[in-house]
Amino acid sequence: MRLLRFSLIPLVLVIIAGCGSSGKDGPTISTAPALSEATRIAITSFIAGDKTGILGKRIPLNLATRLELVMKDVEWIYDQSDKVNPVSAKLQELGLSLEDILADAALAAKVGKELKADFIIVGRIDNPKFTDKDYHTLLKKQGRQAGISGTSTYVRKRLSALIKTRIKVIDTKTGDLVFNDSVRDYLKYWYAFQTQQRNQIVFKTEENMLADLGNHLPRRIAYVLYPTGLPEVKEGEVLLKPEIELLGNQGVITFD
């Protein structure tokens, strides 16, 4: 009997491990919630890192307006400006913070009930990671000059912005989490230029890339929450690439 009891321990551990991870943000729930079945849905501002403060209000606003376009039968409650801010006003009235309701689904449900919403969406935006990589491999652009075959030599540069957002959707009637997952977005920008022309190129700044994330990330989140009603929006999208065709040792260069 003792041998049987010890032999069952690994099986129990496997079963527990298979139930999904449960870190500081709670168990992962990646199944899209039934948003279209709701009558009213509230979206709060998102907690933002020190580098993403401007996105804390912009992303929920863009997310709400995007979902509003495809789910016209649902009434959406969200902060639209400093004066039209029903969600922030309710939080202040209840003495709660965004951190409080992100950490405690019951508190989030309380706010949602006060707003007469069926679901409430809360979130946190982590600081982005920006990368800047130069490729020193010399590439050739085929061309013709005065009827004589010629080539021009180019090099490449890639900028990128990677960001991760925690999204939670709470059913206000039960207080249960119905969605709890991390949504990533990854944007890339490619440049190709002759070495002597580098100082003439206007590269994207981190502020520019944050602005692009403010428009693109809500599209990613909206698709994850409502995949049956919106076209797929993938992470890793290339927003800028050269219009010229370049050749390397392995043939035509792809910008991906």
Q: Tens digits of per-residue pLDDT, 67-87?
A: 999 999 999 999 999 899 999
Structural contact between residues 141 and 194, judged by C-beta atoms closer than 8 angstroms:
no
Confirm whether 235 is domain-assigned: yes
Looking at residue 14, its pLDDT comes to 34
pLDDT at residue 55 in the model? 94
Q: Is the residue at 65 inside a domain? A: yes
Helix (H, G, I), strand (E, B) or coil at 166: strand
Q: What is the pLDDT of residue 195?
A: 87
Is 19 within the bounds of a domain?
no
| Residues 47-72, mean pLDDT to the nearest whole number | 93
Interatomic CA distance for residues 201 and 134, integer angstroms: 14
CA–CA distance from 141 to each of 208, 246, 248 (Å)?
29, 5, 9
Instruction: Write down the pLDDT at residue 24.
Output: 80
Percentage with pLDDT > 90 across the chain: 74
Exposure of 238 by Cβ count < 10 A (0-12 exposed, 13-18 middle, 19+ buried)? middle
Helices 86-94 and 105-114 sit at what angle, rounded to 10 degrees? 120
Q: What is the mean pLDDT of residues 150-157?
A: 82
Q: pLDDT band for position 143 (50/70/90)?
A: low
Q: Is residue 3 assigned to a domain? A: no
Q: Which is more confidently placed, 24 or 89?
A: 89
Kindly state whether residue 247 falls inside one of the protein's structural domains.
Answer: yes
Task: Enter the pTM of the model.
Answer: 0.84
Run of H or E including 202: none
Q: Would residue 14 count as lying in a domain?
A: no
User: What CATH number is associated with residue 231?
Assistant: 3.40.50.10610
Per-residue model confidence (pLDDT) at position 149: 45
- Number of domains the chain contains: 1
Whether residue 137 is contained in a domain is answered as no
**pLDDT at 13 (0 to 100):** 36
Q: 147 in a domain, yes or no?
A: no
For 59, the enclosing helix (H) or strand (E) is helix 55-70
Pairing of strands 247-248, 237-240: unpaired
pLDDT digits (tens, 9 = 90+) for 217-230: 999 999 999 999 99
Identify the helix (H) or strand (E) that includes residue 4.
helix 2-17
Q: Where are the alpha helices (DSSP H) in 104-205?
A: 105-114
For 119-129, write each residue's pLDDT tens digit.
Answer: 999 999 999 99
| Among 127, 156, 153, residue whose Cα is nearest residue 256 | 156
What is the rounded average pLDDT for all residues in the chain? 88
Quick check: 212 and 104 in contact, CB under 8 A? no
**Residue 138 in this model has a pLDDT that exceeds 80:** yes
Task: Report whether pLDDT(16) > 80.
Answer: no
Structural domain span for residue 90: 28-129+160-252
Question: In which residue are the tokens 């993938």 written?
Answer: 234
90 three-state secondary structure: helix
What pLDDT is attached to residue 34? Answer: 96
Strands 26-27 and 247-248: unpaired
Q: Are 112 and 86 in contact (CB under 8 A)?
A: no
Amino acid at 5: R
The reported pLDDT for the residue numbered 23 is 65
What per-residue confidence (pLDDT) applies to 151?
60
In this predicted structure, the answer to whether residue 146 has a pLDDT above a threshold of 50 is no
What are the φ and ψ backbone dihedral angles of 60, each rounded to 5 degrees?
-60, -35
